[in-house]
Structure 1
Amino acid sequence: MNEYEEWIGRKRRMHDIVSPRLAEHYAVTLDEILAEGPELPGIQWCLSPDALPPADLGRDGHPKTGLFLPKLPLPRRMWASGDLEMTGGLCLGDKVTRTSTITDISFKTGRTGDLGFVTVEHRYAVSGETRINERQMIVYRDDPSPDAPAPTPPQADIWQVVHKAQVKTNPTLLFRYSALTFNGHRIHYDHPYATGVEGYAGLVVHGPLQATWLQNVATTVLGRTPRSFTYRGMAPLICGATAIVEARGNGKELELRVRNGQGNFVTMQASAT
């Protein structure tokens, strides 16, 4: 770990605005799942994206590690989990400063091999006032072994839901969200790469898009922006499936999930208060 200690505490500050174009394109991409009101839950993940020249991109289309994020000896990147504390959401016209800090780097060995974890904390502020504090976990892993069996995704139990929405995933949806976030990760648009290199069953629906669905459903049920929101990816959601976005709870504390309507397994789970 000594070679990674110098990365801990590394900061980056970026600025962006919730412009009319961004807000409009965000709304039509989310369509009917977008919560009503002036705040735009989840739009923080569309702000201040990395924009680097081709020479600074890795094989997967992401910025190369070793620039802001540390260069780990593992090639596959996954947007794994995170938690947010919010005093309010972001609205049209907000000028947002995002301060990102690397707070932890760790390694462990799991059932599928070696894993590297990078924790990044993001602070989103408007006029110097913090609106969102986020702790994001990024996971790096080895390429899949061609002989390894596919992981078994967690099956969904029966919920008494207070809200349910459906999203029919397709390549156009993935393209639009990649465009909103300037996300070049090839698993979302390059089918041969997604299946032949990273071992997925098809194009992969973005983790932050699923978390955005859940945050909007939470806002709809609570009638306000959640004060806390925690999410965790459970299994890949493959493009072409119908995503079922559900919430259960008492209107103050919610459990939420995205499940694959074809296989009835959970792809992301969350909680909100």
Structure 2
Amino acid sequence: MSEVDIDHLRQWIGRSEVRQELLTPAMAARFNATFDRGDEPANGEIAPSMIHLCLAPPAAPTGELGEDGHPARGGFLPPVPLPRRMWAGGAFTFHDDILVGETVARHSSIQDVTLKQGRSGALCFVTVNHQITADSRPVLTERQDIVYRDIDPPGRAPRTPPAAAPGRHRRVIPPSPALLFRYSALTFNGHRIHYDHPYVTGVEGYPGLIVHGPLQATLLLHFAETLRGARPAGFAFRSLSPLFDTADFTLNADEDADGLRLWTAYADGPVAMEARASW
């Protein structure tokens, strides 16, 4: 059981950083190819939604990565001493379009650090706020919820939530190793659970490669755009259970008075990520 000094970690609240990157046509083309969108946007055209998640990632030297492929703890994010980290949820408010050829800047700050107890032990939540600009224009506001947790104790039986009913709108997604690897490459994400099958099964004990949370969120937002014909003004999501590359999963959507309720799930499995899109 890892000890968490929450008073020390809360000293990171208020820390900030700014990262920026030019959004080139080549980057936009690689993003669209990864998601089978086909288009190759030129300078001045509207960039695909959620591409900002692929811009200006931290670039830790390879020699400074841990065994799991993550950079060493500390720096901008607090050095939480729990071994497993995941993007637990978040929310986006879209203000304007990003155009290909613009310089996209991410102004980030640590909003909160809290400690809770879960089934597997301590859970440390870090809330990060991102203000995104394109050529100095405000284009979106993002809240990112990161959770750190301990490894499950040996012999603990996994929870078996009930299977989710299919949505009125439904699309099947094959989580191929190529898709997961390409998204890791787009986001410069070295976390081995997404592309290293021997590691994720033999060391971390999962049944297969894990589908990224941001990848699922991007697929759900693109699904919402397709159904409504326009990018939502707001999009919020929460991860509930993991998806692996062991079986196809589905994107699902139902309309309600506030917009679209969306979720990912296996055909016979529980909700993996739930989301809401509003216009």
Q: How far off its partner does 1:158 sit? A: 4.3
Task: Identify if the C-alpha distance between structure 1 residues 33 and 233 changes in structure 2 by more than 3 Å, giving closer, same or farther.
Answer: farther
Specify the alignment match of 1:198 in structure 2: 204
1:259 Cα deviation from its structure 2 partner: 1.2
Note if contact 1:188-1:205 (Cα within 8 Å) is conserved in structure 2. Answer: yes
**Sequence identity (%):** 44
Aligned pairs for 1:227-266 within 5 A: 227-250=233-256, 253-261=259-267, 263-266=268-271
Partner residue, 2:51: 43
Determine the C-alpha separation between the residues in 1 that align with 2:179 and 2:212: 10
Count of residues paired in the alignment: 269
Alpha-carbon shift at residue 251 of structure 1 (Å): 8.4
Task: Sort the Cα spacing of 1:145 and 1:250 in 2 relative to 1 into closer, same or farther, 3 A.
Answer: closer
| C-alpha separation in 2, matches of 1:269 and 1:227 | 17
Note closer, same or farther for the CA distance 1:195–1:271 as it changes in structure 2 (3 Å cut).
Answer: same
State the distance in 2 between where 1:252 and 1:5 align: 36
Q: Indicate whether 1:113 and 2:121 are aligned.
A: yes
Name which of 4, 19, 22 aligns with 2:9. 4
TM-score by length of 1: 0.92
- 1:102-141 superposed matches below 5 A: 102-141=110-149
Higher RCO structure (Cα 8 Å, ≥6 apart): 1
**Aligned CA-pair RMSD:** 2.0
From 24, 33, 40, give the equivalent of 2:29. 24
SS in 1 for 2:241: coil
Q: Distance in 2 between matches of 1:260 and 1:121?
A: 31
Secondary structure of 2:122 counterpart: strand
Distance 1:158 1:20, change over 3 A: closer
The equivalent of 1:73 in structure 2 is 81
Question: Hey, what's the Cα distance between the residues in 2 that align with 1:45 and 1:153?
Answer: 30
CA positional deviation for 1:92: 1.9
Change (3 A) 1:62 1:14: same
Specify the alignment match of 1:270 in structure 2. Answer: 275
Q: How far is 1:45 from its partner?
A: 0.9
1:165 matches 2:138: no
What TM-score, normalized to structure 2?
A: 0.90
CA distance in 2, matches of 1:18, 1:153: 41
Structure 1: 4+ residue segments shifted above 6 A: none
Q: SS in structure 1 opposite 2:36?
A: helix
* Map of 1:174 onto structure 2: 180
CA distance in 1, matches of 2:203, 2:69: 13
Unaligned segments of structure 1, at least 5 residues: none
Find the partner of 2:228 among 218, 222, 233.
Answer: 222
Compute the displacement of 1:5 (Å). Answer: 3.0
User: Which structure 2 residue ranges, 5 or more long, are not aligned?
Assistant: 1-5
Moved more, 244-253 or 196-205: 244-253
Match of 1:100 among 108, 111, 116: 108
Deviations 1:62-95 (A, max 9, x none): 1111122111121111111001111133232221
Paired with 1:229 and 1:204, the residues of 2 have a C-alpha distance of 23
